[in-house]
Amino acid sequence: MTTDVRKQSAGRTKGAHSFRKFQQASILILLVALCVVASFRSSTFLTWTNIVDNLFTNAAAIGIVALGMTFIMIGGGFDLSVASTIVVCSVVLVMSMDWLSPQGAAVAIPVALLLTVLVGVILGAINGTLIAYIGVNPFVVTLCTMLIFRGIAQILTGGGQTQQVHDILLRRRFDWFYDAGLPLWGGVGIPMPILIFLVVFAVGIYLLRFTRFGHYVYAIGGNEEAAWLAGVNTHRIKALTYVLCGFTCAIAAVIFVAKTETAGAESHMGKELVVIASVIVGGTPLGGGSGGLTATVIGLLLLRVIDNLLTQFNIGPEYRPVVTGLIILVVVTVDVLAKRRGST
Amino acid sequence: MLSSDDLILQMQGIVKEFSGTRALDKVNFDVRCGEVHALIGENGAGKSTLMNVLAGRFHDYQGLITFEGQQVRITNPRQARDMGIAVIYQELSVLGNFTVAENIMFGDEKSGRWTRKLNRAFINAGARDIIDYLRFDLNPERKVNRLSKARQCLVEIACAVRRKVKLLVFDEPTASLGSEDVDKLFEVIKDLRSRGLAIVYISHRLAELPIIADRVTVLRDGRKMGTKNIGECQISDLTRMMLGHDLVEVFPEKTNKPGNVILKVNGLSRPGLFENISFELREGEILGIAGLVGSGRTEIVRAIFGADKARGTVVFQGKPVVDRSPYLCCSLGIGMVPENRKQHGSITGRPVSENLNISILGRLSGVFGFQSSRRLTRQAKLIIEQMKIDPPLPHTDIENLSGGNQQKVIVGRWLAAESKVIIFDEPTQGIDVGTKSQMYRLIMDLARQGRAIILISSELIEITKLADRILVIRDGRLVSQMHGAETDEDSLFAECVRKDNPE
């Protein structure tokens, strides 16, 4: 369907639209170019360990949240509270599992997972209700819930103590969500986080591209008032994007807990910015209406590869925020400039 | 006749294109000092575009502009302002949180040399001078957002006069004013004229022209149809010039037959906007709602459609519709083509097929909400063919369509949804005559098929030619009902502006 859209509209689309495609293509090209440079300059870049373990596996959890965030941002919204939501979810996950450990892994793990997902969904629903049904500005709402959710995590952990499942066997069992994987040839395999990411990605693509919900999300980002007057239940759809994002936060929490075996109220500081940055660099505009999940994945990978390159070249972590900030700034500035040229 | 020396402005052969469509086609226009020159035409005729050229909103127009005997090219708003051209738009551009004086003196403030403290005494005194000079009844220290719309308009005029304006353009100033305020505004305009200012007065209310204008220029579809002295022409001549000679052919024959009551509105009220509106709508009926802009007509239909909350009941097919929302109304079979196509109609950046199908995606989706793009395209093609949407490409972005075709897409949305009641709010605003007549025929066809239509229009002729019954709304109240066949444009207009308590 997409190719046929491009063909038919290519002659008629105006600057801004063709530019959007150009931008997405150029970021992909930049990504490939960086990878090529990296593989020439560094012997370890193009190794399975570096690509799969360092690049993808580390990015998988954040990537899942970025997928949820993409829904929100295509619908014209915004969510600053994702990192705090992850923290609450992981604290709930660890504490409930610890509490249930006498019941055995067969009970403790599923119930804890269910509880975690429920918490993620509820936190998303709180954001969604305030933003979509009551109409408070998403920036304000999620700035407040960012503080509140982290505060809740601190209260739950009795002042920010790092939580751990005391039952070592149960802890090892739960690590399955990070350590397991799909074995391929020659002793290598696809790690669990990537598998989970791929599943979420597939479901996300289906939701966004092939269902009424997805169409509505784009329509709301395109012109919310018009969609409302066309009989779309815009409140519900908008609220659902936040619920969806809360759900992805819960999944990310599962992966993080499986990786670190702990949960702390002070972890994941600033992750919301990485998530938002991936979505923006990928090409989903603030204000919504266009963009997509693939774009977000490319944006995330670009940020990861740059990060990875900085490590490979032994550039200190103190430079990373500057580099990341500059990249986002360049992408957004170029976007604004090109749009201005397209409109005159 | 005045000599040509008095000409302050001459525009010759002005051409302005918007992505291929000509909004202005070699228009000539001139204004003398000390005259009120009315510029009239239908919506989309090019009046505002012409004035926007003058105000420096575009830099890519063609043609010559001579201002005060000097040939100029106006490429930005600042230049226009410095030359002494000011436009007072319908949407006023006063700063609400500032006082009257601060607004009038904006950009000309004085502050203390070292402290950089604003010199309030200077601002208030300066504003007071201007207000006294114009003999306006304004308190310089009042916040502007606490003034009525008419007073705010005076503030804008004072601001322009302070900037030594020579040519003042009014863009449909009376569209949102009550009749008393209109009289006051006319006094002000006449006073400005006697002070030697040149005034351009844009309107599509023909009845007010003999009161206010000296000359009148008519635009139609971006072309100038002629300029006349107001004493030498009849309103009916102007109507013909505005609409074209094929006035009768534009409208289809009335072929619809009203049947059973399908929609009943009872005591609909929204404080400050409209009060106690009750009426019935029948299947196959075209119900016209006439009234000035700001009379509450749009707010009434929005309330029926559930876009705004209001008191009162709406009964659809015998069942009261409680907790109305567009979402609910749409699923019941009520549709609305909103007034402002760009803001409320088109879902920008999305393809035509989605814009057409947005209201029926639920009906089109399969298991797990699966949306087959082939089914969407097939459904879109059906409507595109039926509505003769051009270009007939379901996957092109709706923004690539002309205004008229975008409007067809939005109407097509409700055809696809098979709505039983369709509300049209200014359906022909800003679309060309050809598409207009298609729109009229479509509305008539829909009514003949038994759908109930509510039609709002500022072009009163549309209402008189199409509607079976006409509701006249004035200041938020339903003041009279008229029969379409027995009403002509002039008497309908008189009813729309009639004062309740004649002095």
- Residue B379: pLDDT above 50? yes
- Residue B503: pLDDT above 60? no
Domains of chain A, each with CATH number or no CATH: 44-342 (1.10.3470)
CA triplet A92, A97, A102: central angle to 5 degrees? 150
User: Where does residue B353 fall: left (phi above 0), alpha (psi -120 to 50 degrees), or beta otherwise?
Assistant: alpha
- pLDDT at res. A148: 97
Least confident of A216-230, B382-396, B414-428: B382-396
B433 or B300: which leads in pLDDT: B300
- Residue A4: pLDDT above 60? no
Does A13 lie at the interface with B, CB-CB under 8 angstroms?
Answer: yes
Residue among B488, B456, B486, B493 nearest B468 (CA) = B486
- Residue A19: pLDDT above 60? no
Q: Which of A1, A4, A232 sits opposite B327 (nearest CB)?
A: A232
User: Where does residue B203 fall: left (phi above 0), alpha (psi -120 to 50 degrees), or beta otherwise?
Assistant: beta
CA triplet A332, A334, A337: central angle to 5 degrees? 110
Residue pLDDT, tens place only, B202-225: 886 777 888 889 999 998 888 898
d(CA B170, CA B192): 12
- pLDDT at res. B176: 64
Q: What is the distance in angstroms between the Cα of B413 and the nearest Cα belonging to chain A?
A: 8
Q: Do residues B485 and B293 lie in contact, with contact meaning Cβ atoms separated by under 8 Å?
A: no
- Counting every residue, how long is chain B? 503
- Residues from chain A contacting residue B361 (CB–CB below 8 Å): 212, 215-216
Does A218 lie at the interface with B, CB-CB under 8 angstroms?
Answer: yes
Q: What is the DSSP string of A247-298?
A: HHHHHHHHHHHHHHSEE-TT-STTHHHHHHHHHHHHTPPTT-SS--HHHHHH
- Residues from chain A contacting residue B307 (CB–CB below 8 Å): 228-229
Q: Which of A4, A13, A212 sits opposite B400 (nearest CB)?
A: A13
d(CA A200, CA A247): 11
- pLDDT at res. B501: 53
Residue pLDDT, tens place only, A285-305: 888 888 899 999 999 998 888
Q: Do residues B42 and B36 lie in contact, with contact meaning Cβ atoms separated by under 8 Å?
A: no
Q: What is the mean pLDDT of residues B256-266?
A: 91
CB contact under 8 A, A226 and B343: yes
Q: Do residues A265 and A160 lie in contact, with contact meaning Cβ atoms separated by under 8 Å?
A: yes
Res. B500 pLDDT band, cuts 50 70 90: low
Residue pLDDT, tens place only, B334-367: 999 998 887 888 888 888 888 888 888 777 777 7
Does B434 lie at the interface with A, CB-CB under 8 angstroms?
Answer: no
Tokens 């022909």 belong to which residue? B428
- pLDDT at res. A8: 35
d(CA B276, CA B270): 9
B262 or B491: which leads in pLDDT: B262
Closest chain A residue to B367 measured between Cα atoms?
A: A211
- Residue B13: pLDDT above 60? yes
- Residues from chain A contacting residue B345 (CB–CB below 8 Å): 226, 229
- pLDDT at res. B502: 47
- pLDDT at res. A182: 80
- pLDDT at res. B499: 66
Res. B467 pLDDT band, cuts 50 70 90: very high
Q: Which of A215, A221, A233 sits opposite B371 (nearest CB)?
A: A215
Residue pLDDT, tens place only, B105-135: 887 777 777 777 777 888 888 899 999 988 8
Closest chain B residue to A237 measured between Cα atoms?
A: B327
CA triplet B325, B476, B204: central angle to 5 degrees? 105
Least confident of A6-20, A70-84, B243-257: A6-20
Res. A334 pLDDT band, cuts 50 70 90: confident
Residue pLDDT, tens place only, A236-252: 999 999 999 999 999 99
Closest chain B residue to A74 measured between Cα atoms?
A: B349
Residue pLDDT, tens place only, A253-276: 999 999 988 898 888 988 998 899
Does A1 lie at the interface with B, CB-CB under 8 angstroms?
Answer: yes
d(CA A58, CA A194): 9
- Residue A109: pLDDT above 90? yes
- Residues from chain B contacting residue A227 (CB–CB below 8 Å): 347, 358
- pLDDT at res. A18: 55
Closest chain B residue to A291 measured between Cα atoms?
A: B349
Residue pLDDT, tens place only, B76-111: 888 998 899 999 887 778 888 888 988 888 877 777
- Residue A136: pLDDT above 50? yes
Residue B33: φ, ψ to 5°: -65, 140
User: Residue A34: helix, strand or coil by DSSP?
Assistant: helix
- Residue A14: pLDDT above 80? no
- Residue B248: pLDDT above 70? no
CB contact under 8 A, A231 and B343: no
B234 or A251: which leads in pLDDT: A251
Return the exposure string of A105-133: e unless at least 16 CB atoms fall within 10 Å of the residue's CB, then b. beebbeebbebbbebbbebbebbbbbbbe
d(CA A264, CA A93): 11
CB contact under 8 A, B348 and A289: yes
Q: Which of B59, B309, B350 to mutate to test the interface with A (most CBs of A within 10 A)?
A: B350
Mean pLDDT of chain B: 85
Cα–chain center distance at A194: 13
- Residues from chain A contacting residue B19 (CB–CB below 8 Å): 14
A335 or B383: which leads in pLDDT: B383
Mean pLDDT of chain A: 86
Q: What percent of chain B has pLDDT over 70?
A: 94
d(CA B23, CA B46): 6
Q: What is the mean pLDDT of residues B464-481?
A: 90
Q: What is the distance in angstroms between the Cα of A66 and the nearest Cα belonging to chain B?
A: 23
d(CA A5, CA B466): 39
